[in-house]
């Protein structure tokens, strides 16, 4: 495929993906109280298969050739391996142990974990598309609304029941186990969800399926300099801290942010004097939690006007903000 053909193919894929994102956001902007119904209807929409195919092609045909700024899959894999196999987890517990020495009511010792063999790390890749983490030796459970390849289970992470065990039927996950995974991956997932309440639900569900001291790794696109969108990054960190997470690493790469959060165990929550403001378990989510925390999980596309696009002025041109979003989300992001 020559340069012109490649560019034409890229624009075609970008348009297919962008249209799905924008239509979802339009529907939620028009009827915000029906955000859950809109999401459920989207799950039954045949357009999902076209979206999955376009996303797969974009990742493997376009982003794979633009990896100079860093391969997002390699970045995420390294975060997980450094935490569990490179001393990151032990460092956390050494810090906890030092803090415990000054707390009279603390246990005599803090449990410490050695490193984990790579093939024993249970990883949940949400919105996987084509299971790109198969390149690692992790025990990966790859899920997607509409899998693009074999090896990925069909599953709606927002609505799937959480229980004591896996329930799988004909490549569709019917139940995910709680307190099970060492790591959960959200790679370009939160931007897909058209409402901050859905993002909050996704993060809270990640908390529930993670085992204590497991990590949630979040990648979000951004080609601006490090300080440009720090308001969003800081807001996400504050929201997750109130959900029982502690940020353990952050890196700004050329075209993306990569954040990792640890699910705090009971001992860690005690040391940090962290309590749920609504006086219930961190495994629970009440209406007050949703009202308080969901606005903190904003993305800048939430501010764009999708109503005027879909209820149009026929001569309306795309705003500079919309054009910038296209570049950040699809045209410039590297990694396979």
Closest CA to 75 of 152, 192, 185: 185
Annotated binding site for S-adenosyl-L-methionine: 127, 144
For residue 108, what pLDDT is reported? 46
- Residues β-bridged to residue 252: 257
Distance CA 130, CA 60 (A): 9
Kindly report the CATH number assigned to the domain that includes residue 174.
3.40.50.150
Q: For the whole model, what pTM was predicted?
A: 0.87
For residue 11, what pLDDT is reported? 83
194 and 266 both lie in a single domain:
yes
Find the domain containing 208 and state its range: 73-300
Closest CA to 260 of 281, 273, 246: 246
For residue 104, what pLDDT is reported? 45
Residue 336 lies in a domain: no
50 and 111 both lie in a single domain:
no
Residue 126 lies in a domain: yes
3-class SS at 268?
helix
Which residue reads 């025990």 in tokens? 139
Closest CA to 163 of 138, 141, 180: 180
The C-alpha angle with vertex 186 and arms to 230 and 152, in degrees rounded to 5, equals 160
Distance CA 113, CA 84 (A): 9
Annotated binding site: 127, 144
Cβ-proximal residues to 175 (8 Å cutoff; 6+ apart), any chain: 160, 161, 162, 163, 165, 166, 167
128 and 212 both lie in a single domain:
yes
Rg over CA atoms, the chain: 20
132 and 193 both lie in a single domain:
yes
58 and 137 both lie in a single domain:
no
| Model confidence pLDDT, tens digit, residues 120-155 | 899 999 999 999 999 999 999 999 999 999 999 999
| Model confidence pLDDT, tens digit, residues 62-112 | 766 655 445 889 999 999 999 998 888 888 777 776 766 655 455 444 444
Total domain count, the chain: 2
First to last CA, the chain: 18
């Amino acid at each position: 495929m020559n340069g012109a053909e490649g560019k034409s193919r890229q624009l075609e894929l970008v348009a297919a993906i962008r249209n799905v994102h924008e239509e979802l956001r339009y529907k939620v902007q028009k009827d915000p109280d029906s955000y859950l119904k809109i999401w459920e209807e989207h799950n039954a929409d045949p357009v999902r298969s076209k979206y999955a195919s376009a996303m797969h092609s974009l990742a493997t045909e376009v982003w794979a050739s633009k990896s100079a700024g860093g391969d997002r899959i390699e970045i995420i894999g390294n975060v997980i391996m450094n935490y569990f196999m490179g001393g990151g987890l032990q460092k956390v517990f050494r810090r906890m142990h030092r803090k415990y020495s000054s707390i009279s009511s603390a246990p005599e010792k803090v449990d410490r974990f050695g490193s984990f063999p790579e093939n024993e790390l249970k990883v949940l890749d949400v919105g996987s598309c084509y299971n790109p983490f198969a390149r690692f030796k992790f025990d990966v459970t790859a899920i997607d609304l509409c899998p693009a390849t074999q090896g990925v289970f069909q599953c709606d992470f927002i609505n799937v029941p959480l229980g004591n065990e896996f329930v799988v039927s004909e490549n569709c996950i019917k139940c995910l186990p709680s307190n099970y995974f060492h790591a959960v991956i959200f790679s370009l997932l939160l931007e897909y969800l058209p409402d901050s309440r859905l993002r909050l639900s996704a993060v809270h569900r990640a908390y529930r399926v993670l085992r204590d001291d497991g990590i949630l790794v979040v990648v979000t696109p951004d080609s601006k300099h490090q300080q440009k969108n720090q308001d969003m990054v800081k807001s996400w960190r504050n929201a997750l801290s109130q959900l029982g997470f502690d940020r353990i690493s952050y890196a700004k790469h050329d075209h993306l942010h990569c954040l990792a959060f640890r699910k705090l165990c009971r001992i860690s929550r005690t040391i940090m004097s962290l309590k749920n403001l609504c006086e219930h378990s961190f495994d629970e989510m009440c209406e007050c939690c949703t009202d308080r925390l969901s606005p903190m999980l904003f993305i800048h596309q939430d501010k764009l006007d999708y109503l005027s696009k879909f209820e149009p002025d026929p001569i309306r041109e795309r705003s500079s903000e919309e054009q910038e979003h296209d570049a950040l989300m699809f045209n410039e992001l590297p990694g396979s």
